[in-house]
């Protein structure tokens, strides 16, 4: 299945059916009277977040969604049928925006969450509604209310607890594959990852969702490489794992490049808790590894983990550090320690 995280959609609610002008005429009924029924309401357009979806690809092949009109009223006080609603089923984490791509209509972050995008028009009154003591035979009815037509944008931001960031070939996909059942594409050339990937990671009996996005390069905020179009998928994360390629000869420059791109992107990414880890430790000797770790600690101003996603060395410690940040974000209490006399 192809990945799509942005789609333009045209929607229109149904118009209400017109009221009916009708008079009762029956044999043996001395006094007739108005009996025109009301028109049915038009169908509405809804959006609903459903589990099991992680792409907006369905909206590439269908962009127009028009609800049914209500049927007009009929004689014998019969109300017209209400038009059927249309429900846009979108992945959890979908933002719905106005046509300007900036004004937020709704943010669907929970399964089953629904929002009304376009309300159907009301049906018109039939002439029986206008009957009064002074107007025994009204000959007018209301037309149905017109539907609402609008253009909206759907933008998907995946729901994940932690996100992976780093330069291309930093080992992000290898880390995700080593810690979860996800099977992202892995190769020895840049930009192997072209779309975000999600994996469920477990450590010490706890589970959380980890997101891997395509690698960033210098100037990504200006559209270079794959740009920063996928950074939105880590906006909701509680913590970021910044992987740095330990085999690179420009460790500090690589680190500062990613930090600069996060700051340029904005939306609070640069202020999120960030864990820095030096990857591919299995490819370095002890002396080189120690030197590059100290250089990275100086550049980051904090602790630097050392790991090898390929061999699994140091991975558990990093996962525990990620879980600690996620737990603090969720404000989950620690389990009580077993009592000891």
Cite the annotated binding site for Mg(2+) by residue number: 173, 193
Exposed/middle/buried for residue 190 (C-beta within 10 Å: 0-12, 13-18, 19+): middle
Q: CA–CA separation, 278 vs 306, rounded Å?
A: 5
- Residue 221's SS3 state is helix
Q: Which residues are annotated as a binding site?
A: 166-173, 191-195, 212-215, 279-282, 308-310
Binding-site entries for GTP: 166-173, 191-195, 212-215, 279-282, 308-310
β partners of residue 46: 87, 116
Nearest to 281 by CA among 244, 256, 254, 255: 244
The residue behind tokens 């939306």 is 267
Token representation of residue 40: 């049915």
Token reading at 218: 């210098």
Contact 291, 200 (CB under 8 A): no
Strands (E), the chain: 6-12, 23-24, 33-34, 45-50, 64-66, 86-91, 94-97, 104-108, 114-118, 149-156, 162-165, 197-203, 206-212, 239-245, 274-279, 304-306
The DSSP code for 233 is: G
Alpha-carbon distance of 319 to 335, in angstroms, equals 18
Contact (CB, 8 A) for 36 and 21: yes
Q: How far apart are CA 282 and CA 323, in angstroms?
A: 24
Which positions ≥6 away from 243 have C-beta within 8 Å? Answer: 164, 165, 166, 170, 171, 172, 175, 277, 279
Which residues fall within 8 angstroms of residue 102, CB to CB, at 6 or more apart?
none
């Amino acid at each position: 299945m192809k990945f799509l995280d942005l789609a333009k959609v045209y929607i229109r609610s149904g118009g209400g059916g017109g009221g009916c002008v009708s008079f009762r005429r029956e044999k043996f009924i001395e006094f007739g009277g108005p009996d025109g029924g009301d028109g049915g309401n038009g169908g509405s357009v809804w959006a609903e977040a459903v589990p099991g979806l992680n792409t907006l690809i369905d909206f590439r092949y269908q962009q127009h969604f028009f609800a049914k009109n209500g049927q007009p009223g009929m004689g014998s006080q019969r109300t017209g049928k209400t038009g059927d609603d249309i429900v846009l089923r979108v992945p959890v984490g979908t933002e719905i925006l106005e046509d300007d791509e900036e004004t937020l209509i709704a943010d669907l972050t929970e399964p089953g969450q629904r929002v009304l995008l376009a309300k159907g028009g009301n049906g018109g009154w039939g002439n029986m509604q206008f009957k009064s003591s002074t107007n025994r035979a009204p000959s007018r009815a209301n037309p149905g209310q017109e539907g609402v037509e609008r253009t909206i944008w759907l933008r998907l931001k995946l729901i994940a607890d932690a996100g992976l960031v780093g330069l291309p070939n930093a080992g992000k996909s290898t880390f995700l594959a080593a810690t979860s059942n996800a099977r992202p594409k892995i190769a020895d050339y840049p930009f192997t990852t072209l779309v975000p990937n999600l994996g469920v990671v477990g450590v010490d009996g706890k589970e959380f969702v980890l997101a891997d996005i395509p690698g960033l390069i210098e100037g990504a905020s200006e559209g270079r490489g794959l740009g920063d179009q996928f950074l939105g998928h880590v906006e909701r994360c509680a913590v970021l794992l910044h992987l740095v390629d330990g085999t690179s000869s420009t460790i500090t420059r690589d680190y500062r490049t990613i930090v600069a791109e996060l700051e340029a992107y904005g939306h609070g990414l640069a202020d999120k808790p960030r864990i820095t880890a030096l990857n591919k430790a299995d490819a370095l000797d002890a002396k080189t590894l120690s030197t590059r770790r100290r250089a990275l600690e100086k550049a980051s101003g904090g602790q630097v983990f050392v790991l090898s996603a390929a061999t699994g060395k140091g991975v558990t410690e990093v996962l525990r550090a990620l879980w600690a940040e996620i737990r603090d974000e969720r404000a989950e209490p620690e389990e009580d320690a077993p009592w000891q006399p």
